[in-house]
Amino acid sequence: MRHADPQVLTISHIFPAKNGNWWWRARWNRSVWKPAREEAWGGAKGRFHDLRHHYCRWLLDAGMEAKDVSEMAGHSSVRVTLDVYVGSTEGRMARAAKILG
């Protein structure tokens, strides 16, 4: 069901479809996300939102500035990004050791 104002989306609308309508979350999960997840992860459970977490972590681990990742993710501040995504990882610790000599 479309909202009277085409600029207003409900939480159930997530992506525009090729036909100009919107994918409904439940249908997209069933038709797109679940088959892709099962193929990629061998049936392991995972939420679509988990991709966002992995993407932000990969960017940070690759050396992208936290401020830039924060802006890309739409966080209210870089503090949110740092609190959620920056932890002690082997990659970060190895880079720190290399920098320190």
pLDDT digits (tens, 9 = 90+) for 51-77: 888 888 889 888 899 999 999 888 899
pLDDT digits (tens, 9 = 90+) for 23-41: 787 888 888 888 888 888 7
pTM above 0.85, yes or no: no
Written in H, E and C, the secondary structure of the chain is CCCCCCCCCCCCEEEECCCCCEEEHHHHHHHHHHHHHHHHHCCCCCCCHHHHHHHHHHHHHCCCCHHHHHHHHCCCCHHHHHHHHCCCCHHHHHHHHHHHC
